[in-house]
Amino acid sequence: MALKLPFPEGTYSVAAGIAVGGITAYAFLSLAYRQLATTDSKVGYKAVFGLWVIVFTICPGFFQPIEQEVGRALASRRAQGIGGGPLVKRAATLGGILAFAAIVVCLAAMSPITNTVFHHSTMLYASLIIGIVAYYLAYTARGALAGNGRFGPYGEMIAAEGIVRLIATAVLFVVGVRTPGVYGLVLVLPPIAAIGISLRGQKHLLEPGPKAPYSELSTALGWLLAGSLLLQALSYAPYITAVSLAKPSQDNLVADFAAGILIARIPLLGFQAIQAALLPKLARLAGAGEEVEFRKALRQICMIVLAVGLIGVVGGFAVGHLAGTILFGNKFTLSNTDVGLLAIGSGAFIFALTLAQALIALRSYAASTLSWLAGIIGCVVGASLTRDLFLRSELSYAIGASCAAAAMLGCLTVRLRSGAPMAAVEHLGSVGGHESFDLPIVEI
């Protein structure tokens, strides 16, 4: 039997935006590698990729739950005919507090971040601070768009960010700029331009309404924030492990390893489009109490995800090095085995991410977060199994992601066998017929 419910409103707009954003991300990092990585030294690219990892661990970790909850709560207000302006302002205040806290932490860690990760580039450190502010604004704007059902501009914002970044990077590449700090600014400034592009002509996003207490956003926001941070950290576990354990003489190796991680994450790019098209259905089915259809949809998504992951693993072991030379040039040195091992971690990660969405659709927030924590513990265990820098980083990712997936599967099995009625679950993806996407968009 086919699924009874159609794709949620805006599915294709959001999926298209995610696809453009993912492709342009690869283009940015590929051009940066070709320009900054030389035969003698690749520390410039290592520093820029380090900025990428920090920005896209902190910012989605802190601000994506705010976006998701704004979208959900704003859609609920729309369904009741209540203006959502006060709610968005309340969320902006909360997001501002989180942004301030993140900046304070970065200021406290300025010396180790600048010296170890950014190789003494103060411009890259300044880019980190700018990036936190830029993405705080971007995620808040995304939540307002999603909650108001403006999915066309939502997808446009994601795509515009990537396109603006790609154009700027292409200019730097043609001109021959080799200053890492400039690439850092190109990384963090496009979200500001994307906000302006996507919000042009948008009206009535902040309609007057009753005051919004913090509890209206979510009583589970703490779990969502913790889970989001752990998720993002696990997604870059191999790089974090390599940077933490590498000796100064291994900087070039870490830069090559960063490029290899991107090759292994190619299946994640395909998963993003699948995610945008299929995962919101889980929340809709849960909210409608359609347990049989929920199970069927989940099996369908898991089979697709497992197939994508398997293709990635086989491709990594077969042509990983060739794919690396196509994207990054002849300076790419990782072997097929290295890329294949990283692809195992990537495949397990996207499977865990799929199961996490099912748990969130069932409001099992704590189970999802604790499963990501199990993944982080698995990373630590994997990193302790050998002394080889690459192998311990690869095992860290593979074991950590597999632990998270296994924990998610166990929690989901228990939840589905508990007999608790799905209809009792207030579903996040659609309230009163007004949908909002609750997808953790993992940056490539």
Task: Answer yes or no: is pLDDT of 184 > 90.
Answer: yes
82-138 pLDDT tens trace:
887 888 888 899 999 999 999 999 999 999 999 989 999 999 999 999 999 999 999
Lowest mean pLDDT among 121-130, 179-188, 305-314, 367-376: 305-314
Q: With bands split at pLDDT 50, 70 and 90, how would you rate the model's confidence at 193?
A: very high
- How is residue 174 written in tokens? 């043609």
> Does residue 372 come out as left (phi exceeding 0), alpha (psi in the -120 to 50 range) or beta?
alpha
Q: How many residues does the chain have?
A: 444
Say which residue the tokens 């936190």 belong to: 132
Average pLDDT, the chain: 86
Task: Answer yes or no: is pLDDT of 165 > 70.
Answer: yes
Q: With bands split at pLDDT 50, 70 and 90, how would you rate the model's confidence at 434?
A: very low
Say which residue the tokens 């704003």 belong to: 74
Asked if residue 320 lies in contact with residue 260, where contact means CB atoms within 8 angstroms, the answer is yes
Show the CA angle centred on residue 221, arms to residues 225 and 141, nearest 5°: 80
Task: Answer yes or no: is pLDDT of 75 > 80.
Answer: no
User: Average pLDDT for residues 64-87, to the nearest whole number?
Assistant: 82
User: Average pLDDT for residues 171-183, to the nearest whole number?
Assistant: 95
pLDDT of residue 131: 97
- Which amino acid type is present at position 217? L
User: Average pLDDT for residues 262-289, to the nearest whole number?
Assistant: 72
Distance between terminal CA atoms of the chain?
Answer: 35
276-330 pLDDT tens trace:
555 566 766 776 777 788 888 888 888 888 998 999 999 999 999 999 999 888 8
Q: Which residue has the higher pLDDT, 356 or 10?
A: 356
**Measured distance CA(278)–CA(298) in Å, rounded:** 9
**Measured distance CA(365)–CA(224) in Å, rounded:** 7
131-158 pLDDT tens trace:
999 999 999 999 888 888 888 899 899 9
Q: Which residue has the higher pLDDT, 29 or 9?
A: 29
Asked if residue 311 lies in contact with residue 267, where contact means CB atoms within 8 angstroms, the answer is yes
pLDDT over 90, % of the chain: 52
User: Average pLDDT for residues 348-372, to the nearest whole number?
Assistant: 90
Task: Answer yes or no: is pLDDT of 430 > 50.
Answer: no
User: Average pLDDT for residues 47-73, to the nearest whole number?
Assistant: 90
